Amino acid sequence: MAGFLCQGQEFAPIASSFDRLSGVPDIASNDSVNGDAPGALGALRPEDPREIAGYRLLARIGEGGLGAVYLSHAPGGQPVALKVVRREYARDEGFRRRFQSDVRAALDVRGYHVVPVVGHDSTGDRPWLATAYIPGLSLDDALAVFGPLPPTAVLQLTGCVAGGLRAVHGCGIVHRDLQPGNVLLGDDGPWLADYGLAGAAQSTRLTRGTGLVAAPQYMSPEHAGGDALTPATDVFSLGLVAAVAASGRHPYGEGGPGGPVSIATRIANTARRPPDLSGYPDVLRPVLERCLAADPADRPTAAELAELCERAAGRPVRDFTDWLPERLTAEIARRTAAARRPPAPEPLTSDAPPDDPVPGVSPGNLFGPVVATWSNWGTATPDVAPVGGTYRQQTLLAIAGSIVALLLAVTLTFAFLRNSGHDPAPSPPAPTTSGQPSPGPSPPATTR
């Protein structure tokens, strides 16, 4: 597995989905609740905003723990998933500080099978996060509709997500919330989303009562026990995801009356009562045994896990020729095509709640520079030199072209007025309380 690097170095390109959708009117989402088929694009509701920070919203992708997710476009035409934070979180300054810190760290992550963060704003009335859009559906939705995956597909999925974790961990980030809802299935393989953002929700007063932000049934023993987290916690969670994807059965049993919290309690006691791995496919069981070790030191690194999965699968983990069942492949293709034709928004009604600013929160930079709080777990080194980033190049070329066109129009207008004998009078700057001209609005962020 190669091409997993932090910002400042070359990184792997975002695969062909963006090129095919570029120029047409889609975290990434998790836990979709559109009311249609799980994870399907839904029409904008009357209460939904129509624009956020210059991004025109086209459809509703879903809704998760942090807020709603919308389909939009970056200035270069690439489809993006725009996550708008819930108002109750936006009112919490502690959340805003952690959100800004976490997102700035996530901006550095680039690699194969990692959904890149391409823009954010933590200082406005409604904090938001933009990621590249992966047309398809989440692993959670796929398992609910189509059932467990074949063992080889599970090994390929686990290997690719492990490769994504290698990029995340190489930038000093622990995902903390790896679950089926944060693994997206596209026509070019699985993608890892929402890495490192669970800490922001953990910091808000709204979640401090229970302390549970991540899905309890996918926590590691150290996470469930409230201990310090290292990259090994994500490897354990990925092992649980692989087990459920292969069988639909959790290795720690059903939740019972206590639900997912009961499963988390059993996970915390792994050292005394290991999970039951009988009944899982023979080819997958050694991978599960390594990932679900009670001691974090006994688990493989993300890079080691990717190689282990490739050997067990007997084929390259990034060979996606007929890797999924036909019905699931057809559904992914259908959703990829549907992203080109987002549904029309529902009509606005007079009694729809207005999208008012959050009381007590003013626009502008409220927090100043923020230093990421993650420990540095080392930098990933590629096995081969990856290809340059097509996604970034397209966006920069589009912006440069727009600037050139604007300068040409201004020049021609000025020349025409001079030739007509009417020099335009300069406009005075708008007055401000400080006596300095007001800066113009900034365009929405694109890529880093």
Give the type of residue at 94: G
Per-residue DSSP letter, 66: S
Active-site residue list: 177
Q: Which two tokens stand for residue 302?
A: 């993300």
User: Cβ(132)–Cβ(81) under 8 Å?
Assistant: yes
Q: Cβ(191)–Cβ(168) under 8 Å?
A: no
Residue at token pair 């194969």: 112
200 vs 310: CA distance, rounded Å: 34
User: In angstroms, rounded to a whole number, what is the distance separating the alpha carbons of residues 117 and 388?
Assistant: 17
Cα 326 to its chain centre, rounded Å, is 26
Contact 128, 28 (CB under 8 A): no
**Residue 31 CA: distances (Å) to CA of 126, 165, 220:** 21, 21, 21
Q: Is the dihedral of CA 218, 373, 184, 305 positive or negative?
A: negative
User: Are 423 and 48 contacting, i.e. CB atoms less than 8 angstroms apart?
Assistant: no
The whole-angstrom separation of Cα 242 and Cα 155 is 8
Closest CA to 177 of 133, 140, 135: 140
Q: What separation in angstroms does the CA of 126 have from each of 51, 90, 441?
A: 11, 6, 16
